[in-house]
């Protein structure tokens, strides 16, 4: 029969609308201010005892909380919810103090989606910093460590260069900003100073005599110190951005503040503790040979050029101090499992790292090589200066040998690391290696939740424009098209419902203010399709067609025009997504989804409603 949908098609429409309503519902529930507890490393698990200790500490401090739980989707994390941001900040300090250094305590914005919705996989749409706010970290870069690292590398280069020139030195002494080299004769002093002035221009080179020694003093220039600091900040910014992006966080803010600080703002995320742990972790790898020259050495004082380092499973191992390559040479790292089902990390080195690895391992087949995990962690100490307590933060370096293996053949750019405790630890290590090592360690200076960056007034203005635009369109459609206008308005409401549901389901989709502009534009485009259809129906009626023929012809003949207009707009939206960034991408995503949902509701949804009221009844007059 003309203008009649079969039962299955009407049922399918009903299912689509129901699903859209269910998956858009979580957006009606506001977030809670929360404190999230996670292990300081991926291998440390948060259990009921840790959460209970936190709850007891909060009770003693007189801080009220709404609920405390272990997260079902993040089994190694706990979550405590609070009524407001002020209580959240106070609670964070109390919980962090009672749990100690083995746990990371982070601020979070936790969803309040009911369990029955969460069990269906429904979650609220992700909002950008401009609409929702998020977590704010202020981090200080340890510039003393950056300078010390550069000076250590430079001293090694100076020694190599002096050996090449046969300028034998008595001793080399290093400070944070200078190097002092002593020689036996004035001739050696002059030869060394000539070479160092030419090749190490970042230093001011001076000579002097002290007793029987002839000294060469190298002092970093102010410009060189500034360049080292700028490099450390620049490299850390790149690594932090990579780490945040790999966490799947949409539209974060990572930028420099002043000479030594970095600001990180992350829209409310599910696992803020993991983000805090990964962002601030200053970790690296070193590949070193086990001392093959002293395989059975058991003395307490290691031979020259070697040192004892602790094994992960207990005990010590004697390693050569000379490093083959470091994690800085890693260009790719992926976690998976070995042939025995144990976690491992597959490593890819850059060309120089591959050459160094091949050169060393080719000479040491059947010897053993160790993988050393190095981590710098901040330690706070309190000192009394002029009668006032001053908290100072210093970086503690810890070394741990996570793997020792026999070299069976010469290695190149690719190999693997085993000996890891868990898949989570392997995944975290691979993420840190892929993101790049920090040029200098950092520590958290400030942590808090932040409100929307646009401000409440701008957000209200944006929402008002959407509501007013929607209302004006609905009034116009009813006034001009009567009953058909009501059908269009119902389809328009369903369109908005489906758009929100799709945005909530897509993992990487984030709604920002430009995205709201895309929704407003979608409202206009959705109505435009109905206007074309209704105008065509009027033309068919004016040409003498029956009501059923006019409805059928109006939808069929307007379809090509609607399809053509929407495809061209969709292509533009895709181009904006490919070449745009940030707000432009947010606009293109909502526009693209809106185009697809509006075509569905305007063509299929509106027609289903018209068919229900007018289908099969040729005598009924159209209210159009």
Confidence of residue 390 (pLDDT cuts 50, 70, 90): low
> What CA–CA distance (Å, rounded) separates 608 from 11?
11
Least reliable range by pLDDT among 90-99, 145-154, 566-575: 145-154
Percentage of the chain surpassing pLDDT 90?
Answer: 10
The torsion of the CA quartet 433, 329, 374, 234, rounded to 10 degrees, works out to -70
Q: Is the predicted pLDDT of residue 454 greater than 60, yes or no? A: no
- The token duo for 125 is 């749409």
Q: Which residue shows structure tokens 């966490």?
A: 247
For every residue of 556-619, which 3-state class applies, written as one string?
HHHHHHHHHHHHHHHHHHHHHHHHCCCHHHHHHHHHHHHHHHHHHHHHHHHHHHHHHHHCCCCC
Highest mean pLDDT out of 8-22, 376-390, 466-480: 8-22
For the ranges 258-272, 402-416, 545-559, the lowest mean pLDDT is seen at 258-272
Tell me the pLDDT tens digit for each residue of 486-528: 999 999 899 989 999 998 888 767 787 788 888 888 877 788 8
Task: Supply the pLDDT for residue 580.
Answer: 78
**Mean pLDDT to the nearest integer, 130-152:** 82
Taking a C-beta distance cutoff of 8 angstroms, is the pair 616, 542 a contact? no
Q: Whole-number mean pLDDT of the chain? A: 83
Which has the higher per-residue pLDDT, 594 or 450?
Answer: 594
Between CA 488 and CA 609 the distance in angstroms is: 9
58 pLDDT higher than 90: yes
Tens of pLDDT, residues 308-340:
998 877 888 899 988 888 877 877 888 888 777
Query: Own/partner pairs for 119-125, CB < 8 Å, 24+ apart?
Result: 120/22, 120/23, 121/505, 122/22, 122/23, 122/25, 122/26, 122/504, 123/26, 123/504, 124/26, 124/27, 124/29, 124/31, 124/504, 125/27, 125/500, 125/503, 125/504, 125/509, 125/511
The reported pLDDT for the residue numbered 214 is 87
Residue 455 pLDDT more than 70? no
CB 24 within 8 A of CB 501: yes
Which residues sit opposite 457 in a β-bridge? none
* Core vs surface per residue 440-465: b (16+ CB within 10 A) or e: bbbbbeebebbebbbeeeebeebeee
Per-residue pLDDT at 611: 87
Please report the pLDDT score of residue 516 as a whole number.
80
- pLDDT at residue 618, as a whole number: 62
SS3 84: coil
Q: Which residue has the higher pLDDT, 566 or 269?
A: 566
Please say whether the beta carbons of 325 and 319 come within 8 A: no
pLDDT of 284 reads 76
Whether pLDDT at 193 is above 60: yes
% of the chain surpassing 70 pLDDT: 89
> What are 13-45's pLDDT values in tens digits?
999 999 999 999 998 888 888 888 887 766 677
Q: What digits encode the pLDDT tens for the residues 163-187? A: 888 888 888 888 888 889 998 888 8
Question: Do residues 246 and 252 make contact, with C-beta atoms less than 8 angstroms apart?
Answer: no
Whether the per-residue pLDDT at 294 is higher than 80: the answer is: yes
Q: Flag the least confident range among 6-10, 61-65, 145-149, 247-251.
A: 247-251
SS3 content of the chain, % helix, strand, coil (to 5): 50, 25, 25
Please give the structure tokens belonging to residue 19. 């699903």
Q: Mean pLDDT lowest for which of 211-215, 350-354, 434-438?
A: 434-438
Given this model, what pLDDT does residue 102 score?
80
Cα(312)–Cα(316) distance, rounded to whole angstroms? 9
Structure-block tokens of residue 193? 């100073």
Judge whether 221 and 202 are in contact, CB under 8 Å: yes
- Is the model's pLDDT at 544 over the cut of 60? yes
Which one, of 102, 93, 98, 83, lies nearest residue 45 by Cα? 102
| DSSP string across 94-139 | HHHHHH-TTEEEEEEEE----HHHHTTT--PPEE-TTTT-EEEEEE
- Comparing C-alpha atoms, which of 484, 566, 563 is closest to residue 530? 484
Q: State yes or no: pLDDT of 265 exceeds 60.
A: yes
The residues, any chain, with a CB within 8 Å of residue 400's CB and separated by 6 or more, are 309, 310, 311, 312, 372, 373, 375
Q: Is the pLDDT of residue 453 over 60?
A: no
Cα–Cα distance for residue pair 550/544, rounded to 1 Å: 9
pLDDT value at 119 more than 90: no
């Amino acid at each position: 029969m003309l203008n009649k949908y079969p039962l299955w098609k009407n049922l399918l429409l009903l299912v689509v609308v129901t699903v859209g309503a269910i998956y858009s519902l979580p957006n009606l529930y506001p977030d809670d201010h929360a404190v999230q507890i996670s292990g300081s490393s991926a291998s440390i698990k948060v259990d009921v005892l840790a959460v209970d200790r936190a709850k007891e500490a909060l009770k003693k401090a007189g801080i009220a909380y709404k609920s405390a739980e272990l997260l079902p989707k993040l089994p190694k994390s706990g979550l405590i919810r609070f009524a407001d941001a002020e209580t959240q900040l106070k609670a964070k300090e109390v919980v962090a103090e009672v749990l100690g250094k083995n746990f990371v305590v982070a601020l979070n914005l936790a969803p309040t989606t009911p369990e029955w919705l969460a069990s269906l996989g429904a979650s609220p749409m992700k909002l950008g910093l401009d609409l929702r706010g998020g977590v704010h970290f202020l981090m200080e870069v340890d510039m003393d460590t950056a300078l010390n690292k550069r000076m250590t590398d430079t001293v090694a280069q100076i020694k190599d260069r002096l050996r090449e020139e046969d300028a034998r030195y008595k001793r080399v002494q290093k400070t944070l900003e200078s190097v002092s080299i002593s020689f036996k004769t004035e001739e050696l002093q002059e030869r060394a100073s000539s070479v160092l002035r030419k090749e190490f221009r970042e230093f001011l080179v001076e000579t002097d005599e002290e007793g029987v020694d002839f000294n060469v003093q190298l002092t970093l220039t102010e410009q060189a110190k500034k360049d080292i600091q700028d490099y450390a900040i620049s490299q850390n910014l790149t690594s932090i951005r990579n780490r945040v992006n790999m966490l799947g966080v949409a539209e974060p803010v990572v930028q420099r503040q002043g000479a030594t600080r970095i600001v990180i703002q992350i829209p409310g995320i599910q696992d803020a503790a993991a983000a805090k742990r990964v962002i601030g972790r200053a970790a690296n790898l070193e590949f070193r040979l086990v001392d093959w020259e002293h395989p059975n050495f058991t003395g307490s004082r290691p031979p020259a050029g070697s040192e004892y380092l602790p094994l992960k499973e207990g005990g010590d191992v004697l390693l050569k101090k000379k490093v083959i390559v470091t994690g800085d040479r890693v260009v790719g790292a992926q976690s998976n499992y070995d042939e025995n089902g144990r976690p491992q990390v597959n490593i890819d080195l850059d060309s120089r790292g591959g050459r160094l690895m091949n050169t060393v391992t080719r000479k040491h087949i059947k010897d053993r090589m160790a993988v050393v995990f190095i981590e710098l962690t901040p330690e706070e100490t309190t000192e009394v200066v002029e009668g006032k307590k001053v908290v100072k933060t210093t970086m503690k370096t810890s070394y741990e040998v996570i793997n020792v293996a026999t070299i069976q053949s010469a290695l190149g750019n690719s190999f693997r690391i085993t000996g890891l405790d868990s898949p989570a630890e392997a995944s975290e290590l691979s993420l840190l290696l892929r993101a790049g090592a920090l040029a200098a360690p950092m520590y958290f200076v400030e942590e808090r939740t932040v409100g929307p960056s646009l401000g409440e007034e701008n957000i209200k203005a944006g929402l008002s424009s959407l509501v007013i635009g929607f209302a004006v369109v609905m009034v116009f459609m009813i006034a001009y098209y009567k009953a058909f206008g009501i059908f269009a308005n119902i389809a328009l409401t369903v369109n908005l419902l489906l758009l929100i549901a799709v945005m909530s389901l897509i993992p990487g989709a984030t709604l920002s203010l430009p995205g709201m502009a895309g929704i407003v534009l979608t409202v206009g485009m959705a109505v435009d399709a109905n206007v074309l259809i209704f105008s065509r129906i009027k033309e068919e009626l004016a040409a003498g067609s029956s009501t059923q023929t006019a409805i059928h012809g109006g939808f069929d003949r307007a379809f090509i025009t609607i399809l053509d207009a929407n495809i061209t707009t969709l292509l533009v939206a895709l181009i904006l997504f490919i070449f745009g960034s940030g707000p432009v991408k947010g606009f293109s995503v909502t526009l693209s989804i809106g185009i697809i949902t509006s075509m569905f509701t305007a063509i299929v949804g509106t027609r289903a409603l018209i068919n229900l009221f007018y289908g099969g009844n040729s005598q009924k007059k159209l209210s159009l």
